[in-house]
Structures are given as C-alpha cells and as structure tokens.
Amino acid sequence: MGVHDRGTPPLTNTVTATVTVNILRNNNPPSFTNCPTSQTLQESAAVGTSVFQLSASDSDPPTTKYGNITLQIIGDDNAGSFFTLNSQNFIVLNRNLATDNATRYQLRVQVADQGSPPRSGLCVFSVNVNRNVNAPQFSPAFYNISILETQPVASTIVKLTATDADRIAPYNQFSCSFGSDLLTTKGADYFTVTTVNNICNILILRDLSTDLKTNTNYLITVLATDGGGLQSLPATVNVTVVRNTAPVITNLDRNITINYNASTTAGNVIYDVDYTDPDTVVRDL
C-alpha cells in the first residue's frame, strides 16, 4: 500500500499491510416454522382471547439486519378487523365475533427481514368460528294428553314448542323426529311428527281403532335436531286413547213382564234398564 502528498515534487511512502473486507449478504429469506395451520373459536370467545402464537426464523446472523425479522398481518378481507398480532406474535381476537356471521376468516401474515430490499415469507392462517353453540330445548319437556280413538287421521293432537339460542340460520332452525324407543311401542305405527316454523306437530297417522291390541297408552319421545347437527334432550308425550266400546245392559232378562192397562199413557216409565260402559266419556243410551 502506498501513500503520497501533494507537494512538488510529491513525497511518497510504501508499506505492506493486510486488509480484510467482510461482506454481509442477505442469503436467506425468513420463513414460518408452524404455519400454515388453523384454529377453531367459539362465537362467544371473549375479545382479547389469544388464538395462536406464530413462530418464524431466519438463517442469516441474528446480529445483522438480515437476521432481524418482524411479523405483520397483511390480509385478507375483513379478517384484519377481527384479529391482531401482538408483540409476542400471538394472533389475538380484537372484536366481538357476534357482530359478524362468517364461519371462517383467512389471515395472511408476512414475515420480513430488514434487508434493502427485504426478503420475506408468507403464512396463511385460518380461524374457523363455531356459531352453532346451542342445542334446541323443549319447554315444556313433558306432555300428557287424552284423545278419542275416533280422532280423524291426519289431525294434530299436540304441538311441542322448542327454542334454539343460536343467532343465525341454520343453527337456530331445527327439525323434529321420533326417538328410537318407539320401536318398543305401537306409537310409530299410529302417529307421525312434522315440523313447521320450529314447532313439532304430532299427528294421527293411522286409524286408532285398527289397533287390535287396543292399547290405551302410547309413550312418544320427540327430538329436535338443528341445522348444525346438535340434538335436543327428548320431550315425552304420553297419549291416552279413550276406546269406543259398546255399553252393556245389566238387568234385562230374556223374559220380562210389563204391566199395562188402559190408563197407561205415553211417556210413562214401564221399565228401568241399567247399563254399564267402560268408556271414560259419558254417552247416552
């Protein structure tokens, strides 16, 4: 290595020296170590809930700007208004989920170093929201009704009311069905259930007088299943059928004597007939 001044003539000097030049290169892009992935939240999750902690790394020396990385949410849609990223790289719920109806949010998170230009990596993180939190509930859960066996086919004998506390369809709508215990009774043969506007209607399916076993009680359980598959506890309906049996005369012998004379007029009682009827409903002879 030589140096000189600006004199006339210039003076010079030469020396031998070793100079080391370190070149810092941004050789490696940063990347995520635990993404892509997804998590599920209940709609009722509290604002401030930590959803997931992201992790990223860069193979460049951490003491250089090329190994110094930062994370930020860059999309998508309105996901950024519901979730934020804190200083520990936790994805945090930032807004009440009940203010929206989406069941899935997709977050694009970028990790970048401090190079010029920076090198970066991308993570797609999904948050699934369970908005079907509540199962239907019957109120009341027990019904005790009595009907005549002559009740017409297709007539409704009882309406069961149920509610579902979820906010949106199809999770607050349900369909009604009979429980499996009907396999041990005749109920499935003689009754059916329909659903109209979240009301369970039990109807007569078949002429009750055709039940040769003349059952007088049918125990029916009813279930309500919402659009997300959650099922209620059963409601129980006890149906008592009043059978239409014939009355029996108890004091009429084959041969009776009736005293009649000329003074007997129309409307006079000439004989009292006694009868019994096992039906619980009063009928006239």
Binning pLDDT at 50, 70 and 90, where does residue 54 land? very high
Residues 93 and 177 in one domain: no
Does some domain include residue 68?
A: yes
CA distances from 201 to 155, 175, 187 (A): 10, 11, 14
Does some domain include residue 4?
A: no
In one letter, which amino acid is 184? T
Residues 86 and 152 in one domain: no
Does some domain include residue 285?
A: no
Of 119, 115, 68, 108, whose CA–CA distance to 85 is shortest?
108
Does some domain include residue 65?
A: yes
Q: Indicate the residue among 242, 258, 274 that finishes a domain.
A: 242
Task: Return d(Cα 177, Cα 267) in angstroms, integer.
Answer: 58
More confident residue, 186 or 141: 141
- Mean pLDDT (whole number) for 11-27: 79
Residues 86 and 142 in one domain: no
Domain count, the chain: 2
Binning pLDDT at 50, 70 and 90, where does residue 282 land? very low
More confident residue, 283 or 225: 225
Does some domain include residue 63?
A: yes
Does some domain include residue 233?
A: yes
Range of the domain at 43: 28-130
**Is the pLDDT score of 228 beyond 80?**
yes
CB atoms < 10 A from the CB of 249, how many? 10
Q: Indicate the residue among 130, 146, 161 that finishes a domain.
A: 130
- Mean pLDDT (whole number) for 189-209: 95
Residues 164 and 119 in one domain: no
Residues 80 and 33 in one domain: yes
Residues 155 and 179 in one domain: yes
- The reported pLDDT for the residue numbered 193 is 96
Residues 118 and 168 in one domain: no
Beta partners for residue 177, in sequence order: 223
CA distances from 54 to 37, 65, 95, 218 (A): 10, 21, 20, 59
For the chain, the average pLDDT equals: 88
Residues 53 and 37 in one domain: yes
- The reported pLDDT for the residue numbered 11 is 79
CATH for 228? 2.60.40.60
Beta partners for residue 4, in sequence order: 12
Report the percentage of the chain scoring pLDDT > 90: 67
- Buried b / exposed e along 190-226 (16+ C-beta atoms within 10 A): bbebebeebebebbbeeebeebeeebeebebbbbbbb
